[in-house]
Structure 1
Amino acid sequence: MQHMTPKQTYEFLQSNPEAVFVDVRSEMEYLFVGHPEGSMLVPWIDGPDWEINPDFIGHVKKAASVNRPVVLICRSGRRSVDAGLALEKAGLQDVYNVLHGFEGDLDDHHHRNSHNGWRHEGLPWAQT
């Protein structure tokens, strides 16, 4: 798995339109916190039981079809690493993780979006 900063990811997605951009956060995070434009939701872990989604690998493999790069993002870049490792174990080879995720790391006051992440970098996102 390769790791890219949010800005590197945005540039990669612009130059590789065939790439599949997967937001692995929960449905509630995707809908209420916002999500990167162009991303598709395939939760790695979701409610109500907060267990690993047994359909995750199948959904991503279907979206990636034949050898399309898969770019994963979560809140801070941790869940997406776990999801990426599972995809690689399942045979996908062109997997990328977005460092710092959508909201970034916690600051000294336990807030996100203050010093890194997709939103902090001012990259395109939507809230639906």
Structure 2
Amino acid sequence: MKNLLPHEAWALIQQQPDTLFVDVRMEIESLYVGRPPGVENIPWYEYPDMTPDPAHFAAAVEREAGRKDRPLLLICRSGTRTQHAGQALEAAGFTDVAHVVHGFEGDLDAHFRRSVLNGWRHDNLPWEQM
């Protein structure tokens, strides 16, 4: 799996418009916290179970992607869920998987705040909020 900083991920989407950009956060996070434009929400896990189902996730991504060799870019809150989700996709046979290091909101700072140190939103990349 490729590790891309937010600016590198944005450049990839611009250069390879066929890339399927997947937000693996729960739908409520994606809608209310904010998300990059054009991202497809396919949660790694969802409330109330909060338990990943790697096979179900990989099948959902495959339905959306149409093929396992399509370039995939994953984003989550901080870059942790995408690591697990990306590993599951590679184990399922996907061949071109990348994830956004630091995710949408980035790492926590000393005061437990996000979007202060790094991440998609911190880097002033395009995003929308419902």
Q: TM-score, normalised by structure 2?
A: 0.95
Which residue of 1 is the match for residue 45 of structure 2? 45
Match of 1:71 in 2: 73
Residue 17 (structure 2) aligns with = 17
AA paired with 1:91?
Answer: G
| C-alpha distance in structure 2 between counterparts of 1:47 and 1:57, whole Å | 18
Cα separation, 1, equivalents of 2:27 and 2:21:
15
1:27 aligns with: 27
Question: Where does the alignment leave 5 or more consecutive residues of structure 1 unmatched?
Answer: none
Q: How many residues align?
A: 128
Identity of aligned residues (%): 48
Letter in 1 for 2:34: G
Write the mapping of 1:36-115 to structure 2, written as runs, cut at 5 A: 36-53=36-53, 55-66=56-67, 67-115=69-117
Describe the superposition over 1:24-83 as per-residue Cα deviations: whole angstroms up to 9, x where unpaired. 001110111011111010000110111114521111112222321000000000000000
How far did residue 116 of structure 1 move?
A: 0.4
Greater fraction of residues in strand: 1
Which segments of 5 or more consecutive residues in structure 2 lack a partner in the other structure? none
Deviation by residue 1:10-37 (Cα, 9 ceiling, x = unmatched): 0000000000000000111011101111
Poorly superposed stretches of 4+, deviation over 4 Å: none
Cα distance in 1 for partners of 2:66, 2:50 equals 27
**Secondary structure of the corresponding residue to residue 119 of structure 2:** coil
